[in-house]
């Protein structure tokens, strides 16, 4: 699965959001969302991280909307009422996928998106680990490049790509990477990192910038 709507829960942890946006920017995956998903994500971060200045979160959201305008799905609201999911509040995510003709949903909450219900719409829900593993199988070099680009923001040093690629293959890291990546020095509280540690990645003509 290459194209997917990112549920709010996978956009909530700043390091994972950063990584998924980098994968999207590079073309390794096609990530999508809509305004209510961003509302839920940043509302939750603000609630759980009162230490973060409001301006940081506002800038992160604005960056996503400004630099990824084609990834914002809209016009699917009429579909929501006619759908069923265990949690009615999740129907908007499925509706966005259907209207946007996106075949997948990336979420930690797989139980809230039953496979038999999603199959009616030719949509599949996938855990982010599986989504990244699928990307590795499809384009390992592309994922490696994104990981190396993000390493400095997660407390690691950027290595030469040749040594990184060789190391991944010799240790079989392509099979284990998503789980191990969560212990690479990221903000373990799973929210927005402080401005000093790096912020949301955005795309523009000059390359990657913090937002």
pLDDT of res. 153: 73
Which comes out higher in pLDDT, residue 9 or 203? 9
Q: Do 32 and 71 form a contact (C-beta atoms < 8 A)?
A: yes
According to the model, what pLDDT value does residue 29 have?
97
Residues 6+ apart with CB under 8 A from 100: 5, 32, 73, 76
Inform me whether the pLDDT recorded for 96 exceeds 80.
Answer: yes
Query: Residue with structure tokens 């523009």?
Result: 204
Is 39 within 8 Å of 139 (Cβ atoms)? no
Determine the pLDDT at residue 166.
39
Q: How confident is the model at residue 157 (pLDDT cuts 50, 70, 90)?
A: low
Residues 163-196 have pLDDT tens digits of 444 344 434 444 444 543 443 333 434 444 333 3
Looking at residues 117-141, what average pLDDT do you find? 97
Q: How many CB atoms lie within 10 A of CB 197?
A: 16
Q: What is the pLDDT at residue 184?
A: 33
Residue 86, domain extent: 3-210
- The number of distinct structural domains making up the chain is 1
**How does the average pLDDT of the chain come out, rounded?**
80
Taking residues 90-96, report their average pLDDT: 97
Residue 206 has pLDDT above 60, yes or no: no
pLDDT for 5 equals 98
pLDDT tens-place string over residues 8-66: 999 999 999 999 999 999 999 999 999 999 999 999 999 999 999 989 999 999 999 99
pTM to 2 decimals? Answer: 0.76
pLDDT at 146 over 60: yes
Question: Are 168 and 174 spatial neighbours (Cβ–Cβ below 8 Å)?
Answer: yes
* Residue percentage of the chain with pLDDT more than 70: 73
């Amino acid at each position: 699965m290459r194209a997917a709507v990112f549920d709010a829960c996978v956009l909530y942890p700043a390091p994972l959001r950063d990584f998924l946006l980098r994968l999207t920017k590079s073309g390794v995956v096609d990530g999508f969302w809509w305004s209510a998903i961003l509302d839920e994500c940043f509302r939750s971060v603000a609630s759980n991280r009162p230490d973060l200045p409001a301006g940081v979160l506002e800038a992160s959201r604005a960056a996503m909307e400004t630099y990824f305008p084609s990834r914002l799905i809209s016009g699917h609201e009429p579909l929501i009422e006619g759908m069923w999911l265990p949690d009615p509040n999740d129907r908007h995510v499925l509706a966005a996928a259907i209207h946007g003709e996106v075949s997948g949903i990336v979420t930690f909450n797989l139980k809230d998106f039953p496979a038999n219900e999603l199959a009616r719409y030719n949509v599949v829900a996938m855990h982010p680990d599986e989504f990244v593993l699928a990307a590795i199988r499809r384009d390992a070099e592309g994922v490696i490049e994104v990981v190396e680009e993000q390493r400095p923001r997660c407390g690691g040093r950027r290595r030469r790509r040749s040594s990184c690629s060789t190391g991944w293959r010799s240790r079989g890291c392509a099979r284990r990477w998503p789980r191990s990546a969560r212990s690479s020095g990221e903000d373990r509280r799973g929210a927005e990192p402080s401005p000093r540690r790096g912020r949301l990645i955005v795309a523009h003509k000059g390359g990657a910038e913090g937002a």
